[in-house]
Amino acid sequence: MDGQAERPASGGENGAIRKRLPPAERRQQIIDEAVRFFAEVGLEGKTRELARRLGVTQSLLFNYFATKDELIDAVYEKVYIGRLSPDWPERLTDRSVPLRYRLLAFYTEYSALIFEREWMRIFMFSGLDGASLNRRYLKHLGDVILHPLLAETNALARTNTPPKMEDVWNLHGGIVYIGIRQHIYRMPEPPKPQEEIARAIDKYLLFFGIDPGD
Amino acid sequence: MDGQAERPASGGENGAIRKRLPPAERRQQIIDEAVRFFAEVGLEGKTRELARRLGVTQSLLFNYFATKDELIDAVYEKVYIGRLSPDWPERLTDRSVPLRYRLLAFYTEYSALIFEREWMRIFMFSGLDGASLNRRYLKHLGDVILHPLLAETNALARTNTPPKMEDVWNLHGGIVYIGIRQHIYRMPEPPKPQEEIARAIDKYLLFFGIDPGD
DNA sequence: AACTCTATTGAGCAGATGATCTTTAAATGC
DNA sequence: GCATTTAAAGATCATCTGCTCAATAGAGTT
d(CA A70, CA A66): 6
| B213 lies in some domain | no
Q: Does one domain contain both A75 and A140?
A: no
A65: left (phi over 0), alpha (psi -120 to 50) or beta: beta
Q: Decide: A96 and A214 in contact? Cβ < 8 Å.
A: no
> pLDDT tens digits, residue range B11-44?
334 334 557 999 999 999 999 999 999 999 999 9
- B 82-141: CB within 7 Å of strand D: none
Q: How many domains does chain B have?
A: 2
Q: What is the mean pLDDT of residues A18-27?
A: 91
From the candidates B196, B197, B203, B205, which should be mutated to test the interface with A, based on the most A CB atoms within 10 A? Answer: B203
Q: Does one domain contain both A68 and A132?
A: no
Q: Which domain covers residue A34, as residue numbers?
A: 23-79
- Partners of residue B128 in chain A, C-beta under 8 Å: 42, 121, 124-125, 184
Q: Does one domain contain both B57 and B160?
A: no
Is the CB of A203 less than 8 angstroms away from the CB of B207? Answer: yes
Q: Does one domain contain both B121 and B176?
A: yes
Q: Does one domain contain both B119 and B166?
A: yes
Supply the pLDDT for residue B18: 58
DSSP SS3 for B4:
coil
Q: What does pLDDT average to over chain B?
A: 92
Instruction: List the 175-204 stretch of B: residues with Cβ below 8 A of A.
Output: 175-178, 180-181, 184-187, 190, 195-196, 199-200, 202-204
Q: Does one domain contain both A116 and A128?
A: yes
HSE value, Cβ hemisphere, 13 Å, CA-based, for B189: 8
Q: Does one domain contain both B29 and B126?
A: no
Supply the pLDDT for residue B19: 78
What's the CATH number where B30 sits?
1.10.10.60
For residue B66, pLDDT beyond 90: yes
Supply the pLDDT for residue B10: 39
Supply the pLDDT for residue B113: 95
Q: What is the mean pLDDT of residues A28-48?
A: 98
Q: What is the mean pLDDT of residues B120-139?
A: 97
Q: Does one domain contain both B116 and B54?
A: no
> pLDDT tens digits, residue range A128-172?
999 999 999 999 999 999 999 999 999 999 999 999 999 999 999
Tell me which residue in B169, B186, B200 faces A170 most closely, judged by beta carbons: B200
Q: Does one domain contain both B44 and B136?
A: no
> pLDDT tens digits, residue range A50-64?
999 999 999 999 999
Q: Looking at CA atoms only, how far is residue A57 from chain B in angstroms?
A: 25
Q: Does one domain contain both A144 and A43?
A: no
**Confidence class for position B101, pLDDT limits 50, 70, 90:** very high
Task: Kindly give the residue spans of alpha helices, DSSP state H, lying in chain A.
Answer: 23-41, 47-54, 58-64, 68-80, 88-92, 99-114, 117-128, 132-141, 147-156, 165-179, 193-207
Of A42, A57, A79, which residue is a domain's last?
A79
**Confidence class for position A19, pLDDT limits 50, 70, 90:** confident
Q: By C-alpha distance, which of B135, B155, B143 is closest to B86?
A: B143
Q: Does one domain contain both B101 and B185?
A: yes
**Confidence class for position A105, pLDDT limits 50, 70, 90:** very high
Angle separating helix axes A117-128 and B117-128, nearest 10 degrees: 140
